[in-house]
Structure 1
Amino acid sequence: MSPLPNRRDEEVRRLLDTPHPVVPVDLAARAVLRGRRIVRRRRIEHTVLWALLAAAAIAGIVLAVLAWPDHSAPPVPDNWWPTSGPN
């Protein structure tokens, strides 16, 4: 039993039999420059985001310290059970 011809196989063979397009000479150099730009941009973005995170953490700590209630004075107890009252 022979397998049926596959249309996709024929299309791939036809594509591979055609002459390949010409690759620009400076393609590798352009790719390297683009890659360096991408890496540099990502590094700057990560640095800025880490700095913003650190600034937000510091601001949160400062805000918590400033808004924290002062515990140096003893709290005034509420009279839940009055000792004297109308009988």
Structure 2
Amino acid sequence: MNRPQREAAARQIMERAPATVPPELYAEAVRRGGRMLRRRRVAVRLMWLLLFAATVAFVVWAVTARPWVEPPSETTPPLMGW
């Protein structure tokens, strides 16, 4: 089958009347689509909640541990009584 024949066959297929869809199939697709959207929405909200909780935990750790402060030196004793 050469290119013009394939184009003619494709054109015939596209010019045909669309196939009818059974009404129960439409209802099932709408139901499943709604369920998928709800699950996706819940998943996105849970991800935002997890990100928020991780951010709060990091901030609390940073405030209590203060990793930017240099720890005191413990190699030499402090000089006292001079």
Secondary structure in 1 matching 2:23: coil
Q: CA deviation at 1:13?
A: 4.5
Give the structure-2-normalised TM-score: 0.63
- Deviation above 3 Å: which 4+ runs of structure 1? 13-22
Alignment root-mean-square deviation, CA:
2.9
Other-structure match for 1:36: 34
Q: Distance in 2 between matches of 1:39 and 1:31?
A: 12
Which one of 1, 5, 11 corresponds to residue 7 of structure 1? 5
Hey, which of these two has a bigger chunk of helix by percent? 2
Q: Which runs of 5+ in 2 are unaligned?
A: 73-82
Q: Distance in 2 between matches of 1:42 and 1:50?
A: 12
Secondary structure in 2 matching 1:6: helix
Q: Identity over aligned residues, as a percent?
A: 40
Q: Which runs of 5+ in 1 are unaligned?
A: 76-87
Other-structure match for 1:54: 52
Give the structure-1-normalised TM-score: 0.60
